[in-house]
Amino acid sequence: MNTSFEDLNLSSSILKSLEEEGYNIPTPIQQQAIPVIMNERDLIGCAQTGTGKTAAFALPVLHLLETKKDKDAGNKKATALILCPTRELALQIGESFATYGKYTGLKQAVLFGGVPIEEQINDLQLGADILIATPGRLLDLSRQSYINLAEVQVLVLDEADRMLEMGFKEDLSKIFEGLPSNRQTLLFSATMSPAITDLTSSFLNQPETLKVDAILSIAENIAQLAYFVEKKDKPALLAHILKNKEIKNVLVFTRTKLGADELVRAMEKAKIKVAAIHGNKSQEARQRALDTFKDGGLRVLVATDVAARGIDIDDLKYVINYELPIQPETYVHRIGRTGRAGNEGTALSFCEPEELQYLKDIKETIGQDIPFADHPYQLSLKSYTKPAFVSPPLVGKKTSVSKKSSAKSKSRKRGYSKTS
Ligand code: AMP
């Protein structure tokens, strides 16, 4: 599976805008959908808002139009049509196309009802390569001959299930009648009802079907860093990090009971007081360790995922993944122990070479980068992957984690949170 936008062979003008937006890693739907769309295949994408689905179709559509337009210089025809159920969504999609396509030279028009038609007619007369429209207004403009549907090369139906729920079926059928049969069609829907299947079997040509789950989001106030380190150096790295006096309390996660016990022994050797809670300890011993930790009598608590279930510690500032979890969802639950109630939190993840795949899966699932920190036990990433170290190494400094800006605030609004 691809890991960067460069790998997806998008044009340099699109890559430039993505870099400005701070998008580093394609989300799962983007990784899967972009190559299919760039191959000019039809596609059914089962994905909800928040998965990055808009960019999943906007980026390859922009790429295809830009490439074709270069070949066919001077072509002023509208060649992509994006249909969606509401004006809010149309405006949002329009904003995305404008952002991702700002260096492509392609023009767009956003068309929806409930507002005077004249301005939209003006936009169309100036020439638009991309039309983003609600079905009713599009039909209106097409009937008045301001739009020639026969010129559409790529059709995108976004939130197709909602369009049907809102009673646009008839309008859609009329629009389909005017479209050329050799167009490319992409359909996105959060659900796959029989009505959607009907639509796809009549109007799509041997589509590829993709399904992605909703993205798990990480609270925006949790800073995340990864430490690439040899397994044998993990105890020393933990001891090094714990020298930081800013860390008043920290919950350290291991995958197994054995791992937890080994860590406790290593910390005892280093004269660092820790306690572990896991299934092999008596309920009483676990409760005691937890109470001491909560009361501030213990700085470092080691826990396995099972034992940590349901633990709620107010004002926990640090979580350390001493061993990365295999399931990305577990990572989300672990680090959700910090940053409660809007407090700031920091999640540090130790990653040994064998765990790189887990880290990659986590990043893909949460749709965020987790930058590597610089540290004294650093293992060279060169032979494994391209490094992207952040310097200086730190714990607790939110600013060292992310260079993203505008995209971030937009994403937060949409509930697709990024860490800062
Ligand atoms: P969507 O699912 O299209 O509504 O997208 C949700 C949010 O995710 C939008 O605010 C986008 O700005 C953001 N987003 C989409 N793709 C990425 C990506 N690869 N990296 C970071 N943010 C993204």
pLDDT digits (tens, 9 = 90+) for 263-288: 999 999 999 999 998 766 677 888 88
Q: Is the CB of 50 under 6 A from ligand 1?
A: yes
Which residue has the least CA distance to atom 5 on ligand 1? Answer: 52
Distance CA 416, CA 58 (A): 18
Distance CA 92, CA 84 (A): 10
Could you tell me the two tokens for 178? 């005017």
Could you tell me the two tokens for 354? 């064998």
Radius of gyration of the chain (CA): 25
DSSP letters, 242-308, are HT-TT---EEEEESSHHHHHHHHHHHHHTT--EEEE-TTS-HHHHHHHHHHHHHTS-SEEEEEHHHH
Which residue has the least CA distance to atom 11 on ligand 1? Answer: 411
Q: Report the share of the chain in percent with pLDDT over 90.
A: 63
Which H or E run includes 347?
strand 345-351
Out of 106-115, 120-129, 143-152, 379-388, which region has the weakest mean confidence (pLDDT)?
A: 379-388
Q: Is the CB of 416 under 6 A from ligand 1?
A: yes
Q: Please say if the pLDDT value at position 349 is more than 50.
A: yes
Instruction: For 251-261, write each residue's pLDDT tens digit.
Output: 999 998 889 99
Which pLDDT band holds residue 395 (cuts at 50, 70, 90)?
very low
Which residue has the least CA distance to atom 16 on ligand 1? Answer: 52
Which pLDDT band holds residue 412 (cuts at 50, 70, 90)?
very low
* Mean pLDDT, residues 313-329 taken together: 90
- Residue 27 CA to ligand 1 centre (angstroms): 8
**229 touches 273 (CB < 8 A):** no
Helices (H) and strands (E) in the chain, counts: 16, 15
Tokens 């609270």 appear where?
A: 219
The full set of domains in the chain, from first to last, is 6-211 (3.40.50.300), 222-398 (3.40.50.300)
Nearest atom, ligand 1, residue 23 CA: 20
Q: Which of 37, 26, 89 has the alpha carbon at shortest distance from 62?
A: 37
Q: Which of 358, 384, 359, 383 has the alpha carbon at shortest distance from 371?
A: 359
Which residue has the least CA distance to atom 6 on ligand 1? Answer: 50
* Mean pLDDT, residues 177-204 taken together: 92
- Residue 352 CA to ligand 1 centre (angstroms): 29
Cβ atoms < 10 Å from Cβ of 363: 19
Nearest atom, ligand 1, residue 25 CA: 19
- 145-149, 196-200, 404-408 — most confident range: 145-149
Letter string b/e over residues 224-248, b meaning 16 or more CB atoms within 10 A of that residue's CB: bbbbbbeeebbbebbebbbeeeebe
Give the neighbor-by-neighbor strand order of the sheet with 184-189: 108-111, 130-133, 80-83, 154-157, 184-189, 43-46, 208-211
- Cα angle, residue 408 at apex, residues 402 and 410 outer, rounded to 5°: 175
0.85 exceeded by the pTM? Answer: no
Distance CA 208, CA 212 (A): 13
- Residue of 19, 27, 402 to mutate, ligand 1, most atoms within 8 A of C-beta: 27
Which pLDDT band holds residue 403 (cuts at 50, 70, 90)?
very low
- Residue 367 CA to ligand 1 centre (angstroms): 8
Distance CA 132, CA 78 (A): 10
**What pLDDT sits at residue 136?**
96
Q: Is the CB of 49 under 6 A from ligand 1?
A: yes
Instruction: For 39-98, write each residue's pLDDT tens digit.
Output: 999 999 998 777 889 999 999 999 999 998 866 665 556 599 999 998 888 998 999 999
